[in-house]
Structure 1
Amino acid sequence: MNNSDKILKKLTDSNLYSRYSGLLSLSNISLQLIDASGKILLEFNPSPDFCKLICQEDEGRICSDYTAKLESGSGGRFNCRYGLSNIILPVEINQQTIGYIVGAQVYVSDSEYQKYLIDIMSLAKGKNFEPEFIAKSIAAIKTVEENKIDIHEQICNHITQNISHDFSQSINSADKAIARLSIEKEMLEKKIIDLEAKNMSLVINPHFLFNTLNSIARIAYFEKSHTTEELIYCLSDLLRYNLKQDDELHTIGAEMDNIEKYLYIQKIRYKNRLEYEIDIPDQIKPHRIPNMIIQPIVENALIHGITPKRDGGKIKIYAEKYKNDINIYVMDNGNGFPKEVLQSIQQSENKMGIGFRSTDKRLKRYFGENYGLKIAKSDYSGSTVTITIPTKPNARR
């Protein structure tokens, strides 16, 4: 890995999503950061399942249509072989391209008819997926108005320019300047106001809450209350993620980012009574899971395992791949579920039991009867809840 790749990786790990969350809230169209070779470094907004699971040979790399654009050095908009509108913009520093912002992957009204021309049976045979899964993935591809693509391209441009600026600053200095980041946030918020003025149809009520939280965070920064500032940004991101009530699969990496923000907030609240560890291998993070599956399990571990224990305890989340399955474990060393609570979970007699049962059913609906949620252990030494999903959703087994 050369110096440029190291700095780009460091920028990717520096909470980029949180810093651009205000802009990202204006659009739910896919947007990703890739390196110069086409490896996906960060999904700001996830790709459609059709693109991620069917078009891409590897879930961690962009499809061949994008790769051809990288090789030719061309950017801007283009239509892929299936008629989807795409955007590719180079991230440049000193006239050298070190990565790209890519995204869109939607139909516009004039090209929507092309989704009905896709040969589903041929794809099913070549990709080893059930035809029903491919048909469902195609049907889920968004069709948007042309002006929303224009707005999304502006968002891509702003993020591209600011990442280039960050990269340039990182070359000259290893330290991150907090003051510069706050000024950058203010500049981006002004851009948001401009974009909202151009297309008011994209503005939703929660924006008021998020903008208010960000304003409070800026006040906390100027008052040098950096912990308060970080808490507010985490809460803002947590609320925004939890408002995504769509029925799409999200990456395990995105779910874990959300859970880490939740646990960070709880750590400030419980102080030394709560420790946590998240250990998810990089090769597992691009795999997909229904959103808001893991957080309620973590919340239950905190409420029923850690909180009743006088000295608190630790929550550990880790994952492993075994053959064609992925197992995600949520462990705590608390007191375990009380006997009556554990019984009610198994019998679905209260809201908590219903929650576990509905989560299990939701996983089975996506992945089949062999997958779902299981309470592997719950006793005086703690609890372990296991989530099992396939590496390839709805693939023939």
Structure 2
Amino acid sequence: MNKTNKTLHNLVDGNLYSRYSGLLSLSNISLHLIDTNGDILLEFNPSPDFCKLICQEDEKRICTDYLSRLKPGKGDRFNCRHGLENIVLPVVINDKTIGYIVGAQVYLPGNEYRKYLIDIMGIAKEKKLEPEFVAKAIAAIKTTEENKVEVHEQLCNHIAKNISYDFSESINSTDKAITRLSIEKEMLEKKILDLEAKNMSLVINPHFLFNTLNSIARIAYFEKSHTTEELIYCLSDLLRYNLKQDDELHTIGNEMDNIEKYLYIQKVRFKNRLEYDIDIAEDIKPHRIPNMIIQPIVENALIHGISPKRDGGKIKISAEKYKDKIDIFVMDNGNGFPKEVLQSLQQSESKLGIGFRSTDKRLKQYFGESYGLKIVKSDYSGSTITISIPTKPNARR
């Protein structure tokens, strides 16, 4: 890997997502950073399941329609073979294209009819999928007004330019924190105000919240309160992720990133009384799961298992992949659920029971009766909860 590609990958591995969290709240349609080979480096906003699980040969690589449009130094806006609107914008440094910002993957109102022309049975046979899954994935593709796609294109363009700036500064500066602050100042204070001025149905309240949090983080940085700064960025990401009200499947990797931020915040609170370990194999992370399934289970382990224990304890999240399913384990070595809480979990009329039962119901609605949530054990040695999902994309919703 040459110096240019190594620097780009280092940026993706850092706080790149956090830097754009305020801006990303303005749009909920797909947006990715890819390299020049078409490999997805960072998924800012997820693709529709139809694009991710059916059109793409690999979940980590964009589809062939995009690949044919990647031209150094040139942007594009085009309709794919199925009629979806797509955006491609180059990330350029020193006249060299190092990657692309791509996204949209929605229907404009005038093209929505084309979703009904897609050959469901042909695709199901070719991809070896259930026709019902293909049909529901097609039905879930969003239809978005032209003005909102135009705003999204401006977001893509702005992010592409700022990543170029970030890349350039990272080569020439040893102080990446200063680079980040410069980007945030330009991005959050200048460009968002410019977009708001266009009055094109932007989301105000989440943007105000994330912008405020990022401003506080900058103050913490200047005051050398680096733990506070990191906590604020984690909280900003948590809020943004938790505020998503869509009904799409998210990758297990994204869910784990969210949980790790939650546990990091709790670790600062509980100090030595909390330890945690997340051990998820790379081949499991691309599999998809309904949003906010795992985090409430982790929170219950902390509240009912670790918190009451004088010396605290440890939460471990792991997963096993079998032929036809994946089991995700949330384990703690706390005191176990109190007897009355355990009884509540088994009663649909209780608040706790409703939470666990609704989670189990959501999983079964997506994947079928063979999958769901199970309390494996809960006693003085701790608790273990399993979440079972299928290995193949045969979602029922």
Correspondence for 2:327: 327
| Structure 1: distance between partners of 2:295 and 2:345 | 17
Correspondence for 1:80: 80
| Structure 2: distance between partners of 1:36 and 1:72 | 8
Correspondence for 2:162: 162
Correspondence for 1:191: 191
Correspondence for 2:308: 308
| Structure 2: distance between partners of 1:270 and 1:253 | 25
Q: Secondary structure at the match of 1:230?
A: helix
Offset, 1:347: 3.0
Deviations 1:274-313 (A, max 9, x none): 1112222222222211101011001001001110111111
Offset, 1:73: 7.8
Q: Any conservation in 1 of the 2:31–2:45 contact (CA below 8 Å)?
A: yes
Offset, 1:185: 0.6
Structure 1 residues 172 and 280, CA gap change in structure 2 (3 angstroms): farther
Q: Any conservation in 1 of the 2:26–2:207 contact (CA below 8 Å)?
A: no
Correspondence for 2:238: 238
Q: Secondary structure at the match of 2:283?
A: coil
Letter in 1 for 2:216: I
Q: Any conservation in 1 of the 2:253–2:286 contact (CA below 8 Å)?
A: yes
Structure 1 residues 150 and 220, CA gap change in structure 2 (3 angstroms): same
Correspondence for 1:359: 359
Q: Secondary structure at the match of 2:394?
A: coil
- Note the 1:20-31 alignment, pairs <5 A: 20-31=20-31
Q: Secondary structure at the match of 1:41?
A: strand
**Structure 1 residues 58-67 or 219-228, which shifts more?**
219-228
Correspondence for 1:141: 141
| Structure 2 gaps, min length 5 | none
- Note the 1:3-152 alignment, pairs <5 A: 3-70=3-70, 75-152=75-152
Deviations 1:122-173 (A, max 9, x none): 1122122222222211111111111211111111111112222222233345
Structure 1 residues 94 and 74, CA gap change in structure 2 (3 angstroms): closer
Deviations 1:44-66 (A, max 9, x none): 00000110111111112111111
Q: Any conservation in 1 of the 2:166–2:179 contact (CA below 8 Å)?
A: no
Structure 1 residues 6 and 320, CA gap change in structure 2 (3 angstroms): farther
Q: Secondary structure at the match of 2:70?
A: helix
| Structure 1: distance between partners of 2:219 and 2:185 | 12
Q: Secondary structure at the match of 2:27?
A: coil
Offset, 1:365: 0.4
| Structure 1 gaps, min length 5 | none
Q: Secondary structure at the match of 2:370?
A: coil
Letter in 1 for 2:342: L
Q: Any conservation in 2 of the 1:368–1:394 contact (CA below 8 Å)?
A: no
1:279 to 2:279 alignment: yes
Structure 1 residues 106 and 374, CA gap change in structure 2 (3 angstroms): same
Offset, 1:222: 2.6
Q: Secondary structure at the match of 2:383?
A: strand
RMSD over aligned Cα atoms: 1.9
Q: Secondary structure at the match of 1:198?
A: coil
| Structure 1: distance between partners of 2:13 and 2:313 | 27
Q: Secondary structure at the match of 1:70?
A: coil
Offset, 1:325: 2.0
| Structure 1: distance between partners of 2:371 and 2:104 | 32
Correspondence for 1:376: 376
Correspondence for 1:386: 386
Deviations 1:324-347 (A, max 9, x none): 322222111111112222222123
Structure 1 residues 281 and 162, CA gap change in structure 2 (3 angstroms): farther
Q: Secondary structure at the match of 2:82?
A: coil
**Structure 1 residues 323-332 or 366-375, which shifts more?**
323-332
Q: Any conservation in 1 of the 2:104–2:152 contact (CA below 8 Å)?
A: yes
Offset, 1:11: 1.1
Structure 1 residues 14 and 72, CA gap change in structure 2 (3 angstroms): closer
| Structure 2: distance between partners of 1:332 and 1:2 | 43
Q: Any conservation in 1 of the 2:170–2:179 contact (CA below 8 Å)?
A: no
TM-score (norm 1): 0.94
| Structure 2: distance between partners of 1:72 and 1:270 | 50
Q: Any conservation in 1 of the 2:151–2:200 contact (CA below 8 Å)?
A: no
Structure 1 residues 318 and 31, CA gap change in structure 2 (3 angstroms): same
Identity %: 78
**Structure 1 residues 77-86 or 156-165, which shifts more?**
156-165
Letter in 2 for 1:179: I
Offset, 1:364: 0.7
Q: Any conservation in 1 of the 2:73–2:92 contact (CA below 8 Å)?
A: no
| Structure 1: distance between partners of 2:8 and 2:321 | 28
Offset, 1:72: 8.5
Q: Any conservation in 1 of the 2:106–2:141 contact (CA below 8 Å)?
A: yes
Number of aligned residue pairs: give it. 395
Correspondence for 2:179: 180
Structure 1 residues 283 and 6, CA gap change in structure 2 (3 angstroms): farther
Structure 1 residues 243 and 395, CA gap change in structure 2 (3 angstroms): closer
| Structure 1: distance between partners of 2:96 and 2:319 | 37
Deviations 1:211-251 (A, max 9, x none): 33223223222322222222222222211211111111112
Q: Secondary structure at the match of 1:11?
A: helix
